[in-house]
C-alpha cells in the first residue's frame, strides 16, 4: 500500500523538488504552502508521515508539529523537520515539539531523506504490529 506524506513548506521550489523525489520513490505526496493550509488538509486526510519546514510565516513548523502530535491519530506518525537554520537550540525545540528527526535542508541529500522516511515508516509498521497501536 502506498504511503502518504504531507509536505509543508512555504518555498514552492523545495516542495516541488521534495515532491518529485518522494513520488519517484513510490510515495503519495500532499503539499501545503503553510501550516494553516496543512491544518485544512488534515481535516479530511490522514497522512502516514510529515515533512515540515521550520521557518514559515504564520504557523511555524514547531507549532504545527505540536498540533499534529496532540491529535491521537497522529501520535506515532514520523515527522521530520527540515530547515536551513540548524543549531542545537532549534534541534532541541523540534524534538521537544514531537519531531522524529530534525535535518538541515542544505546538508541532507534527497536520497538520504527518502531513505530515512522508509526506515521510519518500516519501524512504525513493526511497532504497530508488536504493540498493537
Domain boundaries, the chain: 4-131
Residue 126: which of 65, 64, 78 has the closest Cα? 78
Cell numbers that stand for 30 in this block: 500532499
**Distance (Å, whole) CA 107 – CA 28:** 24
The structural architecture, per CATH, of the domain 4-131 is 3-Layer(aba) Sandwich (3.40)
- 28-67 pLDDT, tens digit per residue, is 999 999 999 999 999 999 999 999 999 999 999 999 999 9
pLDDT value of position 100: 94
What pLDDT score does 94 carry? 96
Residues 42, 25: Cα–Cα separation, whole Å: 23
Beta carbons of 25 and 5 less than 8 angstroms apart? no
Residue range 84-104: mean pLDDT, rounded? 92
For range 74-92, the mean pLDDT: 91
**What is the arithmetic mean of pLDDT over 6-10?**
97
Is residue 133 over pLDDT 70?
A: no
Q: Where are the beta strands (DSSP E) in 38-130?
A: 49-53, 79-83, 101-104
Q: Residue 119 — very low, low, confident or very high, per pLDDT cuts 50/70/90?
A: confident
**Residue percentage of the chain with pLDDT more than 70:** 97
In 4-110 the beta strands, taken as DSSP E runs, fall at 4-8, 28-32, 49-53, 79-83, 101-104
Amino acid at each position: 500500500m502506498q504511503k502518504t506524506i504531507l509536505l509543508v513548506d512555504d518555498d514552492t521550489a523545495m516542495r516541488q523538488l521534495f515532491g518529485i523525489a518522494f513520488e519517484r520513490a513510490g510515495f503519495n505526496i500532499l503539499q501545503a504552502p503553510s501550516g494553516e493550509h496543512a491544518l485544512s488538509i488534515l481535516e479530511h486526510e490522514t497522512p502516514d508521515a510529515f515533512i515540515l519546514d521550520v521557518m514559515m510565516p504564520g504557523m511555524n513548523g514547531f507549532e504545527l508539529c505540536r498540533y499534529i502530535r496532540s491529535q491521537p491519530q497522529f501520535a506515532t506518525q514520523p515527522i521530520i523537520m527540515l530547515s536551513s537554520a540548524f543549531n542545537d537550540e532549534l534541534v532541541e525545540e523540534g524534538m521537544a515539539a514531537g519531531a522524529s528527526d530534525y535535518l538541515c535542508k542544505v546538508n541532507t541529500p534527497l536520497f538520504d531523506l527518502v531513505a530515512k522516511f522508509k526506515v521510519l515508516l518500516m519501524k512504525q509498521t513493526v511497532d504497530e504490529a508488536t504493540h498493537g497501536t
